[in-house]
Chains A and B, each alone.
Chain A
């Protein structure tokens, strides 16, 4: 193949790529705020004794876990305006679609962490005279929160990567700007390689942090 690399075609046009990165980071941060907070509430519903609360919550989780993210995003962008007559700007729609998806996955992380607190610790809490609320606040939640941090970070960085899917519905994120640039410059190899490096540059430190946290936890659990 006779192809000469010309990185200049991309480096001369970094402006739009950084604009796209800013949008991608906005989507990621906002979706994570939704996912980290609503995910916790959803986990409590999933763990509820009352079927009326538990079953809808489980259905919500399974819907997002068992359908492709791209289908969720496309469905959200096309069906929500038609069904509910709600028209929001694309970034808000993207945040909601990604945020709800992350909510479901984070709820699972919280649920697993809460259930991983050994039963014996709760028995010890009863033996020490702690009330049910004190047992939850002082024994269950501190342990569950710590245990869930690595998974929440992994899910969060997953959402950062999945956010590239919103490009297909016209949100001007990093992926969208990259596609546009590649088309304009006829330089897909250079453009998409650099786009990949952008994603890598953000994800890699976080995944390293997760690895470090898990090693530290592994040591503490001995």
Chain B
């Protein structure tokens, strides 16, 4: 990680408003300050803006109001009807999506080396060495020359995580990365994320898996109606929520989960 003073925020989201079209408001004045080293899990009802929040932080969305800073510097801001995104700042953030996003025409190793070579001008051999090393760490060394179609869903998501790590991100975003997986494949992906967590990788994730949230999070944010409803350590938000809306949600989720 880079040397960020421990008192500075890694991500500071201020008064974030985001909608689609004239009538649909997804985020309505959302404020979050994420410190370096934190692992933030965002939970909440569907349609509450969790995924949109991650997509905004990744710089994939226009916003209508508010700003995001990254590592103490301006990153995203709404200026009139335009959204200004600092693309250099954006390169410091990695993201893994719910749907498989490996490029099907490239092998696993080519998927990993594409961005380092094109974006950072790393030589092919250096990028491939790095790629093989990361694949080995995730137990995927045998799959380096396979095409995505030859992988299981769990392997695809692990490769997607490896691909994001190739760029040495200072923050990882995980948007429901196990939601599309068969149940027996979820654990292998969560294990990789836990491995990153144990190495101190700052991360922000959306998940419906409350057990995993409790395992990985250093902080849980309950988001509903486009604002932060409750924000605290996992024991509090998941175990003993202060807010009525959080409690209702948690009760419902754990009841369904059995």
Contact = CB atoms under 8 A, between A and B. Distances in A.
Nearest to B115: A128
Given A123-B101, A221-B149, A128 B58 contact: no
Contacts of B23: none
A120 B115 contact: no
Interface in A120-150: 120-121, 123-124, 126-130, 134, 138-139, 142-143, 146
Contact of B163 (A128, A134, A146): A128
B206 to A, nearest CB: 15
A83 interface: no
B75 interface: no
B56 to A, nearest CB: 12
A220 B147 CA distance: 9
Nearest to A126: B60
13 contacts: A118-B99, A121-B101, A121-B103, A124-B101, A124-B103, A126-B60, A127-B60, A128-B114, A128-B119, A128-B167, A129-B167, A146-B105, A220-B147
A139 B97 CA distance: 16
A219 interface: yes
Contacts of B226: none
Contact of B115 (A121, A123, A130): A130
A49 interface: no
Interface of B: 55, 58-60, 87, 90-91, 93-95, 97, 99-101, 103-106, 114-115, 118-120, 147, 149, 160, 163-164, 167
Given A123-B97, A127-B60, A129-B91, 14 more contacts: A120-B100, A120-B101, A121-B101, A124-B95, A126-B58, A126-B60, A127-B164, A129-B120, A129-B167, A138-B103, A138-B114, A139-B103, A143-B104, A220-B104
Contacts of B101: 118, 120-121, 123-124
A220 B103 contact: no
Contacts of B164: 127-128
A9 to B, nearest CB: 53
A222 interface: yes
Contacts of A134: 118-119
Interface string A105-119: 000000000000010
B33 to A, nearest CB: 23
Interface in A18-72: none
A174 B114 CA distance: 50
Interface of A: 118, 120-121, 123-124, 126-130, 134, 138-139, 142-143, 146, 219-222
Contacts of B167: 128-129
A27 B250 CA distance: 70
Most buried by A among B55, B101, B115, B164: B101
A42 B164 CA distance: 35
A134 B97 CA distance: 20
A127 B118 contact: no
Closest 9 CB pairs of A and B: A124-B101, A128-B115, A129-B91, A127-B95, A129-B119, A142-B105, A220-B149, A120-B99, A120-B101
B226 to A, nearest CB: 21
Contacts of A129: 87, 90-91, 115, 119-120, 167
A40 B227 CA distance: 46
B60 A123 contact: yes
Given A128-B119, A128-B167, A129-B91, A143 B149 contact: no
A57 to B, nearest CB: 27
